[in-house]
Amino acid sequence: MNVEETLVLIKPDGVARNLTGEFLRRIEAKGYQLVDIRMLEPELELLAAHYEEHQGKPFYEPLVEFMQSGPVVAVRVAGNRVVEGFRSLAGATDPTTAAPGTIRGDLGRDRGLAVQQNLVHGSDSAESAARELALWFG
């Protein structure tokens, strides 16, 4: 058994489109556990730490601006191999090529903006998950 935790963020586009319940439903239907949940409007400082690896990239400023455009729902999710499993549920970063059946593939699309508004975030490794969960849940 390798029960682990991941950070899922429902980005402002997902909240604004009233898809929070749909994403939580998919996570629960897969069999993962919702451990904690909060809605917040993240400060710049939190987003800068969260997206540290992307600082300096062309989409960084638009990304941070987008993430401050409305409320975000942060979810602590647990399960065996949940880090990899939620990335699989979310689909590829680019919603145009994300596989049908995934959150981004089914419900996202490219709007021709400087940043991909792709509905959800999921930690990309156990190390990232530990770091990100500490940032969003303390």
The angle subtended at Cα 101 by Cα 100 and Cα 105, nearest 5°, is 45
Where in 99-138 is the site for Mg ion (CB under 5 A)? 124
Binding-residue pattern over the window 9 to 28 for ligand IDP, x denoting contact by CB under 6 A: --------------------
DSSP structural state of residue 7: E
In the complex, residue closest to ligand IDP by CB = 93
Where in 71-100 is the site for ligand IDP (CB under 6 A)? 93
CB atoms within 10 A of CB 127: 10
Token pair 């990239």: residue: 57
Q: Which one is catalytic: 26, 50, 76, 121?
A: 121
Q: Mind telling me the catalytic residues?
A: 121
